[in-house]
Structure 1
Amino acid sequence: MRRLSLRLIIVSLSTTLALLGLSSLISALAPDATAWLDPQPSPGDWVTTLPVTAAITAQNPLGLGTDAAYRYSAAGVWSDWSTAHVQVGGVVSTSRRITVTDLYLSEGINFIQYRITDTLGSVAESPALQLNVDTTPPGPPLNVQAQPGSWTNTDSFTVTWTNPADANGIGGVWYKLDAAPSAADDGTFMAGSDIHTLGGVSVGSDGEHTLWLWLADRPGNADPTTAVTVTLRLDTQPPGAVSGQGATPSGWTNTNVFDLSWTAPADPSGITGVRSQLDIPPASATDGTYWPGAVDGYRGYSIPTGIDGEHHLWVWPVDGAGNAARPADAVSITLRLDTTAPPPPLTVPQVSPSGWQTDPQTTYTVTWKNPIDLSGIAAACYKLGQEPQHDLDGTCVAGTNIEQISGVTAPAAGSYHLFLWLQDAAGNIDRASRRVALDAIRWDPTPPEIFIDATGSPGLNGWYVGPIAVNLIASDEGSGLERVEYDLDDAGWVQGQQLTINNEGLHFLRAAAVDVAGNRTEAEPAILNLDMTPPTTQANLNVQPVVDDWYDATVTVNLVPTDDVSGPAYVEWKLDDGFWMRTGTAVVDADGRHLLQYSAADRAGNVESAKSLHINIDRTPPVTSYVILPGEPNEAGWYTQPVSITLVPADIGIGVADTFYRVNGGDWQSGTSFAISASGEYDVEVYSVDGLGHAENAYHIPGGIRIDRDAPLPPTPIDVQPRGWTNNNGFDLTFAMPPDLSGIAGVYYKVGA
C-alpha cells in the first residue's frame, strides 16, 4: 500500500512538474519507475503454434507513451529492435499493454525484450523474457506390444511401448479402440511423464480389436497420423468339435504307432491343440492330456498300455484363447492293435490234383481251415520245396478269411513239400506257425532225356574199326528214371544201359527211357557200323617172268582190292623210292631191279599191310669194255712189247652170263683176259651175253692191236754232202731206209765219238 501511494504521488507530481517544464526533475526523482507485468506466454510455458502473439503490460506512474518496440534472440543472437506488428493499448497512460503479433520464433529456447517511451521521453526496457517454442509433436511409439499378445479369454490387456526421443519428453498418451483417430484429441488421454504402459484396457466383446495409440509431448503436441496400431484378441467361447477324424492305419495293425488326423472347427482365436483321453469319454473340458500344436492331427501316437484290442481315443479341441471344447463335443477315434501272429492252419493243407501230373498246364488248388485270430486272417503264404527262411519267403495271397489258393504251379519238374502259414489283418505273420503237406505237388511234364554214347576205335565214314561199347545215358529231373531199354537190329526191346557190338557189319540201335511219371523218350536211333578187317589186294601182271623175277618187256600190274564189309576205298602203290600213287594200275618200264609196294584201304579206314613185288626188267644187252696193258701205244699206235688185254663186261640188268673174243677173225674164245706177244697187226673183236641171252653186238677194238718188238735194220748206204772240207757248217746226209714192220719213224745221229 505504501508503494502504491508513493506511485500515485509521483504520478501527480510528475504531471504538475511536466506542466511546469520540469521533466528533468521527474527523471531525477524516478530513474526506473516502469514495471513489467503479466507477460504472455508466461516464462517457462511452451509455445506450440506459430506465429506467436506475445504481450506484456508496462506501468509507470509518470505516464507512458505509445511508442513501443521489441526484439528477440535465438541461439544468443539478438535481432534489431522492431516496431512491426506492435500494438500498444491502455486506458490510462500509466499502464500500457504491448502486444506483438505474427512473431515467428525458432524451435527451442528463445528470448524476447520489450521497450517503451514514458511521458518524459525516457526509454524503459523490460527484462529478457524466455519463450519456449515446440511445435513438433512426438513420433510414433516404438515396439508397441500387447499383453497377452495372442488370443485370451480375459478382457483385460496391457499395452507397452518404447517412447521416441522428444525435445520436451512425453507427457501422455492418446488411444482409441476399433477406429482410427481423426484429430489429435480424438480419443482417450492418459497423462503421465514418460508414460510407456497402458494397463486395464478392455475391448468389451469377443473378436479381434484394433487399438490406435499416439503420443503427446509435455507441451501437448500430438499427431494422430503417428498413431500405431496393436491388435487385441478376445475369445471367451469354447470351440466346437473336430470333424473328419481318423487314424492311419485305419484298420488293424501290429505296430503301436498311429498317425491321427482331423479337421479343426472354425474358431475366432483358432485351434492350437487338442486334449485327448483313451477309452474313457471326458467328464470335463480339462480332462485328459493336452497336445499343443495338434491342430489337424497327431503323428506317432502309441497306445500307452500296448494291449492288443480295439481302443477308442477321445479328442476335443482347445482354441488359441485357452478355451477347451465341452465334453459333449469330444469325438472318438478307433484304434485297432494286434501284435500276435496267427496260429497255424487248423488242418494240413489239401492239394488237388494229387499224385504225379504230366500236363504242362497243370495247376493245383490248396485248401485248409483257419484258426481264430483277433484281427482276422487276411492272407496266406506258401512255399514249395524248402522250408521258408523268413516270414515272406514264399508266395503270399491276400483275401479276407482266405481258406483256398488256386492256380498254384510247380517251379520245375519234381516232387515238393508245401509249407503254409497265415497273416492276419494287422500284418502279423510268423513262418514258424505253419503246416506242411509232404510231397503234396508232384509234377513232371518233361520226358526224360536219353542219348546213345558209342565209344570205340573210330574209323572213317561213320565206321568203327574196333568193338563198339555203347552206354545209354539217361536222366530225368522230375520224377526220376524208372527204366532204360534198347533194341538192336530189331531183335526186340531189352532193359539195360550198356552193350558191346563185336559183329562186323551195319547195325541199327534204338534206345528209350521211361520216368516214374510215365513220360517216355526214345533217343534218336543210331547207326553203328563195324569193320575190323582190312581189305586184301590181288596183283595181276600182264607178262610172265623169263627167269625168276626178270622180265624182258614192260610190265603192267593191275591191283584189285577186295573188302566184304565196308568196301574198298582205294588202292595205292609205290615203285622203288617214288611216291605212293592212288591208282589201280602200275606200269614198270625202266630196265633194272624194281620193288613194287602196294596196299589197299577200306571205307572204314582199315589199311592193308603193304605187300611187295620184285619186278626186274632187262631188255638191254651187256656192254664190254677193255683194258690194254701196258698202257697206251706210241704216237704211231704201236706197242713195242707183248700186250695183255682184259675184257670188262657190264650189264645193268640180270648180269653178264659170258664174254667172247677173237683175234684176226679166228674162232670165238670165252674169257675176259688174253695176251698177244708176237709182233704184228691184230684185229680184236669182243662181245658179251647176259643171263637173259641178250648178246652184245661184237665190236672191234678201234685201231686193232699193233706190236713191233724188233728194232729197224741199219740204213744203207750213207752219203755226206759235201764230202770234203767246207767252211759252211751244214751237211746233208742221205741214206736208204731198211724195211720195218711198223715203218721208220725217225733217225738218230751223233757226230764224233
Structure 2
Amino acid sequence: MSHDQITPGRSGRLRRASRLSGAALVAGLLAAGGGAAAFAYWQATSSTQGGMAAADSLQQGATPSASAAQQSVTVSWAAGTTAGGHAASGYTVRRYNASTGGTPVAATGGCAGVLATLSCTETGVPNGTWYYTVTPMLGNWSGAESARSGGALSDGTPPSVSVTSISPAPNGAGYDNTSPVVVTLTAVDNPGGSGVASVRYALDGGQPVTVAGSAASVSVAGDGTHTLVYSTADQAGNVSAAQTLTVKIDTQAPAAPTLAVPAVVNAANAAALPVSGTAESGSTVTVTASDGAGHLATGTATASTTGAWSLPTLNVTALYDGAVTVSATAQDAAGNTSSATAVSLAKDTAPPTAPTMSAPATVSAATAASVTVSGTAEPGASVALKITDAGASHTVTAAATADGTGHWTMPGLNLTALADGQLTYAATATDAAGNTGATATQTGTKDTVSAAPVFTTVPSKITSDSVSSVQLAGTAEAGATVALTATDSANHSATASATANGSGNWSATMNLSALNPGPLTFSAQATDVAGNVSTVTTAASRIGPKVVSVTLQNGGTAGTADTNDKVVVVFDEAMSPSSFCDLWTSPTGPWTQNTNSVSVQITRNAGNDTLALPATGCTTSNFGSLALGASYTTSTGGNLTFKGSGQTQTSSVSLSSDGKTLTITLGGIKSGTPATGVAAGTPSYTPATTGTPTDTGGVTLSTHPVSGTSSRF
C-alpha cells in the first residue's frame, strides 16, 4: 500500500485520502473487513509535514452472561478494546430466541440504545429462553458482535396449585366426622416455565409453612371449621394467588332431640299426625311411630337455625288403635347420630254416633235474641251446633258438653243476625279422643221482619188549595199498621196512619196546613201483626206558595189613585221571576219592568174597583187581578190608565231579590179621572187561572182569592 490511506465512506464505498499534513490528525476508519478484526483505525505518528499514520482495530465483543428473574433479564459483559489497547466507547445489546440462527431483536428498557456501562437489565421480556450478544462501539464505528450468552429463561407466569385429595373425603354436606383430616396440595408449572419451587400454606391463620417441591400434605385436626390458605411459587419467583379451603370436622354426636306429639291419635290427625320439637341446629330428625303389632310409620324433618323442627304429616293410619310409641333421633351434618327420645300416646279413631236435637219450630222477633237448643250425645262428648239461614248466608255457632247421662243444652242463642226464612240446625258430636261423628240436622222458620211499605200514590207538587187534604196510598204486608210522617225543610212534621188490608193495600189523608212551603219528605214505616217494624220508606214532594198579604200603599195624594201609589203582594216563599215575566231570566234579583209598555189599569166595579196589568212589556201575563176594596174611579171619569210616556213617569212592576214581594207602582196617569178622598178598604188578590205564577220549584200559586189588610192609596 502506498503512503495514501484508504477509508470507507458511510455508504460503504472506498475513496482515497490526500497526503497527511503536519497538522494533528484525527482518527478515521481505515477499512471494513470481516472476522474478529472487523474494523481498523489509524492515527498520526507525527504532527509534522508528511507524518505517517499507524493502523489500529476494534476487537470482537466479549461473550456476555445473562440471568433472569421472572421477566427481567440482567446482561453483563467485559470491556472491549482495540488491538492497540484503546477502550470501546459504548456497547449495543441484542437478543435471540435460539442459541444459533434466528433473527436478532434489539434489547429494550434498560438495555436499549448505546450503553456506556458493562451491564444492563431488560424488563418485560416475553416468556421464553433468550440468548444475548454485545457489540462494542468506538465513536461512530462498530466492532464485531460477540458470541451469544447462555440461555436466560424469562418466566412471568405463576404456577398453579390445587387440592388433589382430602382423606378421609368429606360427606355431601362437606363434613368429616373423624380427625385428623389430611389435605394433599399439588402444584404444576406452566409449559416452558421455570418449574415449581415450593408450596406454601397457613392453617387457621397460623404461621405460613413453606414446603420445597411441588407437593405438600397438611394434617387438619380438631372439631370445628378450619381454614387452609395455600399458594405455590416457581423458580423464577412467580407466586400464585392465594386459595382457601374450608375443612369442617365434627366428631361429636348431637344431643337427643325434644319431642312434642298430640295427646291422642284420632281419625282427624291419623293421616297427618303433627310431631315437632327441638334439636341441634341443621340436624336431620328421624321420627318413627310404632304399635304393639310391629307396624311402623317414619318421617324426617330438618332443625332450623334456632333448633326448631316440625313434621306435620306423619301418617299413622296403618297402625292399630291402642298404645302407640313415637321416637326421634337427630343426625348432624357430619353424620353423627344422637340417642333416641320416645313418647307414648293412645290411638282412637272410632267416631261417636250422631247426637239427637230439639230446636224451636219458629223464631219470632220476641225470641230471636234468646233461643234454646238441646239434645243427647255420647257422654262427655263435645257437641258443636251450627245454625244457618237460607243459602247459608249467615251462621251462628255454639258448643256444649254432654253430661254423664249424655244430655246437653245451649240456652240464650242470639239468632238476630240470621235472615228470615228457613233455618237449619246442624249438631255434631266429637268424643274425648277428638273423633267427630255424623251430623244431625233439623229445620225451623224465622220471621222477625215486616216488609217495608211502598208508596204507590204520592203528589210530587201540593198547592195551597189542597194542602189540608193530601191523599197518599201504597202497599205493605197484609194487616200491617203503616205510620206516615210528612216533614218540611224546617223539620216541622205532620203524621197519619193507615192499615194494610188483606191484599196489602193502604191509603190515608194528611193535613199539611201547618207545614212550610217548599221541599217536603213523606216517610212510611210498617209494623206487622207480630210486632216487627220495617225499615223507613221515603218519597219527595213539595208544598206550593200562597199569598201572605196584600196591601195598598199611598205614594202621592192620600185617598186618590195617582203616581207612585203601590200595590204590594207578599208570598210565603220565593217565586219564579219568569213565571211573572218571561224577560226576568236573571238568576239574581231584584227584577223590574218599567218601560213605556208597562200599563196599569183600574177598572170601575161597583165600589170594589179592580187593578190589572193588561200590558207589561212581557210575553207572559200571569199576574191576575187585584180587588181594591173601594172605588178609585168616578162615575163620569171611567176607567183609569197609568202609563207614562215621554217625560212622564212610567209605571213599573218589580219582584224583590228574595222572590217573595211583588210591587206594582203607578206611573203617570194617561186616561180617566181618579176619585178623591177614598176611604180604606180590604184589597184581595186573585191569581190568573191560566199560567198561574209558580215558586222556584215549579208549584203553582193557589187560584183562590186572598184577602189582604185594610189599606188605601
* TM over 0.5, shorter chain: no
Higher relative contact order (Cα pairs below 8 Å, separated by 6+ residues)? 2
Report the TM-score, using the length of structure 2 for normalisation.
0.37
For normalisation by structure 1, the TM-score amounts to: 0.36
Whichever of the two has the greater Rg, that structure is 1
